C-alpha cells in the first residue's frame, strides 16, 4: 500500500515518526515537500521545485474548482501577495507527482495552499485524503477528518461508562480542562531564534508562497498590537445585567483552518458580525468576544463599526470566557470549540457550519442568518431544546467513538508529541484506518 504524506513545516517531523513505524510494517511511504527546509528522514521524497517567473502558469491552465483554494490562501488574504500564479504552478506540479506515485491514501493538514490543492486533486481522482486533527473534546484525542471538512472518518468505536462520561462532562462545563491546542507553550528564546532563522532561510531560498515577507510580517504584527490597544480602549469588561437579550459571537483566530477553510464562506468575520447585528431588535445586544490569541481577524473597520453601533459591544481580551459565558443567552459560532461547551452546559448555540455537533437538539445549524430571530424568540420563551444527562453522555460517546487516543501536534510546539507513548497511540489509529482500506 502506498501512503503519501504532505509536508507542513514542523508537523513533518511528527509525521516522520509515524512514517518510520509504518515502513517497518511494510507500507510504502512517500512525501510531497513544498518547503525545502523541512524534509523527513523516512520514506521517499518528492521535492517540488520553487517556481520561477517563467515557470508560473496562467490561470487559464487551471480548473475553476481551485478558486476555493485561492479564497483560503493565507498569503493572499493576510500577507499582501498580489498574484495567484503560484496556485496554478503548484496545482500542475502536485497533480503530476500524484499521477506518478498513484498513492492509495494521503495524509496531511488542510491549512496551507499546497495542502488544499492536494485535497482538490485527490477529490478529482477519488483518492482518500485524511487530516488528523484534534477533536477538541475530550482532551488528548483526535479524529481523521475527510478532505477539507470536519467530517470524521471511522474512529475507535470506543464507549465509556456513564460515570466516566459525567466526570468528563463536569470537567468541561466547569472549565477545569481545556483542549490541548489552548495550552500555553513556553519556548526558549534560543529555540525561537533558530526557528526564525530557519524560516528566513526558507523564504530567501524560494518559499515565498507559504512564508510571508519578513518586512510584511513585521508590519502586520506591529499593526496588530495597535488594533488590540484600540479594541481595549472601547471594550467592556463584562456582559451587562439587564432585560436585553445577550448574544455572543466569539471571534475565531485568523489565519486558521477552523474558519479560513472549514468556515470558508464566513471567513470575513467583520461582514458576518454586521449581518448578525442587522437581525437584532432594539432589546437585543450582540457581544463580540475576541480570541485570547488574537492575530489578524481584528480590523480598524470592525472596531469603528462596533464603536458606533447601538447593538454591538466588544468584550475585553482580559475578560475570561468563564465570566462571559453564564451571562449570555445565546451563542453563535462558525466552527468554534465553544459549540461543544454549549452543548454540554445546555447553553443555546447556533453554528454556521454543519458538523457532528449538530446531531444534538441544542446545537442548531443556522443555514440562513435571516432566520435568527425565530431562535432568539425561542430562547426568550425558554423553549430552546435542552439535553438530559443521558443525551449528553450519548453525545460525548459519539465524540469518543469517532476519534482516537493521541495528541496531534509537532515537536517544536510540543516535544511530547513525538514521545514513544504518543506515537504508539497515533500509529495504532493509523493501523486501524489503513487495515480497513480496500486496495
- Cell numbers found for residue 207: 518559499
Task: Identify the pLDDT of residue 438.
Answer: 77
Q: Which residues in the chain show pLDDT less than 50?
A: 60
DSSP 22-82: HHHTT-EEEEEESSTT---SSSEEEEPPPP-GGGPPPGGGS-GGGHHHHHT-HHHHHS---
- Whether a cis peptide bond, with omega within 30° of 0, leads into 138 is yes
* Contact assessment for residue 205 and residue 34, using Cβ atoms and an 8 Å cutoff: no
Task: Identify the pLDDT of residue 179.
Answer: 81
Helix/strand/coil for 128? strand
pTM of the predicted structure, to 2 decimals: 0.94
Tens of pLDDT along 107-129? 999 999 999 999 999 999 999 99
Query: What is the H or E stretch that residue 203 is in?
Result: helix 189-205
Nearest residue to 258 (alpha-carbon basis) of 137, 136, 350, 422: 136
DSSP 238-279: SPPPSSSEEEEEEPPPSS-HHHHTTTGGG--HHHHHHHHHHT
Question: What's the rounded Cα separation, in Å, for the pair 113 and 255?
Answer: 12
* Contact assessment for residue 99 and residue 121, using Cβ atoms and an 8 Å cutoff: no
Task: Identify the pLDDT of residue 392.
Answer: 98
Q: How far is CA 91 from CA 30, 94, 270, in A?
A: 18, 5, 31
Enumerate the β-bridge partners of residue 189. Answer: none
Beta carbons within 8 Å of 51's beta carbon, 6+ residues apart: 85, 86, 89, 90
Task: Identify the pLDDT of residue 184.
Answer: 63
- Cell numbers found for residue 256: 486558521
Amino acid at each position: 500500500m502506498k501512503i503519501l504524506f504532505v509536508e507542513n513545516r514542523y508537523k513533518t517531523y511528527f509525521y516522520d515518526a509515524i512514517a518510520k513505524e509504518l515502513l517497518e510494517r511494510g507500507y510504502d511511504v512517500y512525501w510531497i515537500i513544498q518547503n525545502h527546509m523541512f524534509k523527513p528522514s523516512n520514506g521517499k521524497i518528492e521535492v517540488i521545485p520553487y517556481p520561477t517567473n517563467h515557470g508560473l502558469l496562467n490561470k487559464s491552465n487551471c480548473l475553476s474548482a481551485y478558486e476555493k483554494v485561492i479564497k483560503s490562501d493565507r498569503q493572499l488574504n493576510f500577507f499582501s501577495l498580489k498574484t495567484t500564479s503560484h496556485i496554478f504552478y503548484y496545482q500542475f506540479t502536485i497533480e503530476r507527482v500524484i499521477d506518478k506515485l498513484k498513492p492509495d491514501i494521503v495524509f496531511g493538514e488542510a491549512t496551507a495552499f499546497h495542502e488544499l490543492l492536494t485535497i482538490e486533486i485527490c477529490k478529482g481522482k477519488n483518492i482518500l485524503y485524511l487530516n488528523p486533527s484534534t477533536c477538541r473534546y475530550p482532551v488528548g484525542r483526535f479524529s481523521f477528518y475527510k478532505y477539507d471538512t470536519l467530517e470524521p472518518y471511522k474512529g475507535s468505536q470506543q464507549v465509556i461508562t456513564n460515570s466516566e462520561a459525567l466526570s468528563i462532562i463536569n470537567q468541561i462545563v466547569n472549565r477545569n480542562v481545556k483542549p490541548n491546542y489552548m495550552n500555553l507553550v513556553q519556548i526558549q528564546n534560543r529555540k525561537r531564534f533558530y526557528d526564525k532563522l530557519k524560516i528566513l532561510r526558507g523564504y530567501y531560498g524560494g518559499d515565498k508562497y507559504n512564508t510571508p515577507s519578513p518586512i510584511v510580517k513585521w508590519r502586520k504584527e506591529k499593526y496588530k498590537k495597535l488594533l488590540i490597544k484600540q479594541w481595549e480602549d472601547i471594550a467592556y469588561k463584562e456582559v451587562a445585567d439587564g432585560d436585553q437579550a445577550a448574544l455572543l459571537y466569539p471571534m475565531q483566530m485568523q489565519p486558521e483552518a477552523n474558519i479560513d477553510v472549514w468556515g470558508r464562506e464566513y471567513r470575513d468575520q467583520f461582514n458576518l458580525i454586521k449581518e448578525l447585528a442587522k437581525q437584532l431588535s432594539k432589546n437585543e445586544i450582540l457581544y463580540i468576544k475576541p480570541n485570547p490569541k488574537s492575530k489578524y481577524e481584528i480590523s480598524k473597520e470592525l472596531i469603528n463599526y462596533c464603536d458606533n453601533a447601538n447593538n454591538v459591544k466588544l468584550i475585553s481580551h482580559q475578560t475570561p470566557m468563564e465570566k462571559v459565558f453564564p451571562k449570555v443567552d445565546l451563542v453563535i459560532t462558525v466552527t468554534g470549540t465553544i459549540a461543544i461547551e454549549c452543548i454540554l452546559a445546555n447553553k443555546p448555540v447556533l453554528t454556521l457550519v454543519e458538523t457532528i455537533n449538530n446531531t444534538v437538539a441544542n446545537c442548531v445549524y443556522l443555514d440562513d442568518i435571516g432566520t435568527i430571530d425565530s431562535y432568539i424568540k425561542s430562547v426568550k420563551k425558554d423553549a430552546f431544546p435542552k439535553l438530559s444527562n443521558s443525551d449528553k453522555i450519548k453525545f460525548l460517546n459519539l465524540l469518543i467513538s469517532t476519534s482516537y487516543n493521541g495528541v496531534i501536534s509537532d515537536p517544536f510546539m510540543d516535544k511530547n508529541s513525538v514521545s514513544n507513548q504518543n506515537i504508539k497511540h497515533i500509529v495504532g489509529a493509523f493501523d486501524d484506518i489503513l487495515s480497513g482500506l480496500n486496495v
